[in-house]
């Protein structure tokens, strides 16, 4: 039986220290700051030797995960700090439907040397459902505003 690789979403714990709010640090081998341009529909990528740990620090986007021949649309926003952990072998991409850039941190866990193939876009097996991506953002915004 093969090991099933699951994407995990974790809300970050935080504590107040004076005037600052501190969030749980993420262990990593390297940290990248990534900017996704406004109105961007990114390609799918799959990494074989790394786990991505993504945290949006400005703006919002929809992370697209391809699992079991279906897309899963995960809304992420600066309004609710969450880390999405994407294990090796899981195709993923990003959609930024807003008019503003989205900035995120990727705290990468390396499981071996990077391979150039890891950063080449994949051919989409079928088109993204932009309506479902927008719906994920709308539902997320509603849940965040309800919890405030």
Choice between 102 and 22, residue whose per-residue pLDDT is larger: 102
pLDDT digits (tens, 9 = 90+) for 102-123: 999 999 999 988 888 888 899 9
Query: Residue 73 is part of a domain; what is its CATH number?
Result: 2.60.120.10
What total of structural domains would you count in the chain? 1
Q: Which residues make Cβ contacts (< 8 Å) with residue 41, sequence separation at least 6? A: 93, 95, 128, 130
Classify residue 50: in a domain, yes or no: yes
Q: Is the pLDDT of residue 3 over 70?
A: no
- Angstrom distances, CA of residue 126 to CA of 95, 104, 122, 123: 15, 26, 11, 9
Token pair listed for 98: 């807003």
Residue 82 placed within a domain = yes
1 band by pLDDT with thresholds 50, 70 and 90: very low
Whether 61 is in a domain gets the answer: yes
Pair of tokens at residue 49: 């030797």
What range does the domain containing 68 cover? Answer: 35-112
What was the pLDDT predicted at 133? 97
Could you tell me if residue 2 is inside a domain? no
pLDDT, tens digit, 9 for 90 and up, residues 39-89? 999 999 999 999 999 999 999 999 999 999 999 999 999 999 999 999 999
Give domain status of residue 144, yes or no: no
């Amino acid at each position: 039986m093969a090991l099933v690789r699951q994407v995990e979403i974790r809300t970050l714990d935080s504590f107040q220290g004076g005037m600052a709010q501190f969030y749980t640090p993420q262990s990593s081998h390297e940290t990248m700051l990534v900017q996704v341009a406004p109105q961007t529909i990114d390609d799918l990528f799959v990494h074989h030797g790394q786990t991505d740990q993504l945290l949006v620090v400005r703006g919002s986007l929809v992370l697209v995960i391809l699992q079991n021949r279906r897309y899963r649309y995960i809304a992420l926003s600066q309004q609710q700090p969450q880390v999405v952990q994407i294990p090796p072998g899981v195709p993923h991409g990003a959609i930024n439907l807003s008019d503003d850039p989205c900035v995120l941190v990727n705290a990468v866990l390396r499981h071996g040397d990077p391979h150039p193939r890891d950063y080449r876009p994949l051919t989409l097996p079928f088109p993204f459902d932009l309506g479902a991506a927008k719906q994920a953002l709308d539902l997320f915004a509603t849940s965040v505003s309800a919890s405030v």
